[in-house]
Amino acid sequence: MKISVASGKGGTGKTLVATSLALSLIKNNPSVQLLDCDVEEPNVHLFLDQEPINETTVSLPIPKINEDLCQHCGKCTEICRFNAITLLKDTILIFPDVCHSCSACWHFCPTGALEPSPREVGTVQISQSGKLKLITGRLNLGVHASPPVIKAVRGAIDTDTVTIIDGPPGSSCPVMAAVEETDYCILVTEPTPFGLNDLSLAVEMLKVLNVPCGVIINRDVPGNHLIDDYCQEKGLPILLRIPLDTEIARAYAKGIPLVKSSPVWTEKFIDLYQQVTQEVTK
Amino acid sequence: MLIAVSAFGKNQDSEVNPRLGRCEYFVLYDTDTDKYSSIDNTGRFSQGAAGIATASLLSNQKVQVVITGNIGPNAYTALEAAGIEVFTGAKGTAQDVIKDYQKDLLSKANAPNVGPHGR
Ligand code: SF4
Ligand code: SF4
């Protein structure tokens, strides 16, 4: 079972849900994997004591020029849709940050002056926190290619183990890379007009990806029906409500997962998992 | 020597467009003949980093000095490699800023002054 946790925007409590769900599930499972796919700013590790196991780097191929073979024909410049390689005077200039690793330039260079060479874009760290295995993706500073790093994190999992994925915020390519082909996606939102707007964008995205989803309302206030009305209209289940509560916020700000600061939540997250399982098999 | 000004229009009275990679035209001024001309910035239509395409266009036109508002890191690297000098922060008409340049009133860019995509 692979469950992704996403939200239309940052700061809605995505990580709070992902860590608490994973920590609740280790009570009844031999092992659980928690993936931090918010590669631009991974923060799950701040909530768990952990032992590092290993770290691998993620690289993408970018062109490397052999000046001796280059005839300055400009073919590579013409073919690159991203302007990542350009011929200025008699120099070939390569812009690694702009390159999408599409391989066209070295494929079409008539003289073989270009060849692919690996550029490190990020890392995947595996660590263990009790029965919980944490896999963290981290994008190198100044690099903009999140999806390949997210894919590498997802490639590092053991497919038979329950997996919880903490995705990046938003509803663009990086989120898609984190939620696609998961069995279910939990969307965390707040009962505000902004929360609703971002939630509806995320719901549309999941429809395209064909991933079933349900909603958790975080910082819920009684009497506010904004999200409820939307979910009813769309036929989306509300899986859990986490109240607006200073105690919860305070513990979380100190890096204590919700199920550790108030263990009563463990049962609620186990129930949540059961609801999700039913939704998936229904 | 050929000077290019990123501009909203095609002649010497056109206002400077602060965005190098996405400007519509470049007003060109040839210091040897004292003549103005212009080119379309075809680089602005490119999908990827427009500043790089623009830099190569200017290089192909044998431009030696560029006057604009802002310059990002990719365009800066490309213009530097092409040996083109960049002056930023220019405001007014093309003719005005060329005069300013000739009176040495413009600041020469030694680094990009905005992030990628003009952020
Ligand atoms: S690999 Fe593709 S994107 Fe990168 S420089 Fe070559 S053609 Fe451009
Ligand atoms: S296609 Fe190859 S030979 Fe032609 S300019 Fe590019 S690197 Fe040089």
pLDDT tens, position by position, A48-84: 999 999 999 999 999 999 999 999 999 999 999 889 9
Same domain, A72 and A47: no
- Predicted TM-score of the model (pTM): 0.80
Residue B118 lies in a domain: no
Chain A contact for B113 (CB, 8 A cutoff): no
Domain assignment present for residue B23? The answer is yes
Share of chain B above pLDDT 70, in %: 96
CA distance B76 to B74: 5
Q: Which two tokens stand for residue A93?
A: 């200039």
Is A200 contained in some domain? yes
Contact of B94 with chain A, judged by CB distance below 8 Å, is answered with: no
Nearest to A98 among B74, B82, B83 (CB): B74
d(CA B18, CA B14) in angstroms, rounded, equals 12
Q: How far is the CA of A174 from the centre of ligand 1 (A)?
A: 20
- Report CA dihedral (B19, B21, B25, B26) to the nearest 10 degrees: 90
**Ligand 2: residue whose CA is nearest its atom 4:** A73
Nearest CA in chain A to B51: A83
Whether residue A117 is contained in a domain is answered as no
Residue B117 lies in a domain: no
Query: What tokens does B10 get?
Result: 């095609």
List the Cα angle A239/A3/A26 in 5-degree steps. Answer: 90
The beta-strand segments (E) located in chain A are 2-6, 32-36, 51-65, 85-88, 91-94, 114-129, 132-139, 162-166, 184-189, 213-220, 238-243
Burial B11-48 (b: 16+ CB within 10 A, else e): ebebebbbbbbbbbbbbbbeeeeeebebbebebbebeb
For B36, phi and psi rounded to 5 degrees? -100, 150
Domain tally, chain B: 1
The answer to whether position B95 is within a domain reads yes
- Per the structure, the complete domain to which residue B85 belongs is given by 2-108
CA A138 to chain CA centroid, nearest Å:
10
Contact call for residues A185 and A3 (beta carbons, < 8 A): yes
Distance, CA of B18 to CA of B41 (rounded, Å): 14
Mutate one of A76, A86, A87, A101 to test the B interface: name it (highest B CB count within 10 A). Answer: A86
Cα(A177)–Cα(A200) distance, integer angstroms: 19
Complex prediction ipTM: 0.76
Is B113 part of a structural domain of the chain?
no
Same domain, A80 and A190: no
Residue B116 three-state SS: helix
Do A101 and A218 share a domain, yes or no? no
Q: Any idea what the CATH number is for the domain that residue A159 is in? A: 3.40.50.300
Q: Chain A partners of B53 at a C-beta cutoff of 8 Å?
A: 83, 86
A252 and A188 share one domain? yes
Identify which of B49, B55, B81 has the shortest CB distance to residue A98. B49
How does residue B117 score in pLDDT terms, banded at 50, 70 and 90? low
Q: Are A32 and A53 in a shared domain?
A: yes
pLDDT in tens, B51-99: 899 999 999 999 999 999 999 889 999 999 999 999 998 899 999 999 9
Residue B68 DSSP code: -
Query: A87 to chain B: which residues are within 8 Å by CB?
Result: 56
Same structural domain for residues A96 and A191? no
Look at residue B119 and tell me if it is in a domain. no
Instruction: Give yes or no: residues A248 and A137 share one domain.
Output: yes
| Number of domains forming the structure of chain A | 2
Say if B115 falls within a structural domain: no
pLDDT attached to residue A171: 67
Could you list the residue range(s) of the whole structural domain that residue A227 is in?
Answer: 2-58+122-281
Ligand nearest, relative to CA of residue A71: 2
What's the pLDDT tens digit per position in B6-45?
Answer: 999 999 999 999 999 889 999 999 999 999 999 999 988 8
Q: Does a structural domain hold residue A273?
A: yes
**A77 and A160 co-located in one domain:** no
Distances (CA, A) of A231 to A181, A237, B99: 23, 7, 63
Pocket of ligand 2 (CB under 6 A): A 65, 70-76, 87, 92, 109, 111, 113-114
CATH code at position A80: 3.30.70.20
Residue A67 zone, left/alpha/beta (φ > 0; ψ -120 to 50; rest): alpha
Residue A152: inside a domain: yes
What CATH number is given to the structural domain containing B29? 3.30.420.130
What are the tokens at A95? Answer: 């812009």
The answer to whether the CB atoms of B74 and A88 lie below 8 A apart is: no
- Name the pairing type of β-strands A238-243 and B35-40: unpaired
pLDDT on residue B118: 45
Distance from CA of A81 to the nearest CA of B (A): 7
In this structure, the answer to whether residues A131 and A216 fall within a common structural domain is yes
- Examine the domain organization and report whether A135 and A239 are in the same domain: yes
Query: B65-67 and B2-7 as β-strands: parallel, antiparallel, unpaired?
Result: parallel
Compare all CA atoms of chain A with the CA of B47 and give the residue at the minimum distance: A82
User: What is d(CA A162, CA A280) in angstroms, rounded to the nearest whole number?
Assistant: 14
- Regarding whether A188 and A168 lie in a shared domain, the answer is yes
Cβ of B56 and A86 within 8 Å?
A: yes
Identify whether residues A266 and A139 lie together within a single domain: yes
Q: Considering the domain boundaries, does residue B13 fall inside one?
A: yes
For A95, which of B52, B82, B83 is closest by C-beta distance? B52
**Residue A85 CA: which ligand 1 atom is closest?**
5
- What tokens appear for A222 in the block? 């009684």
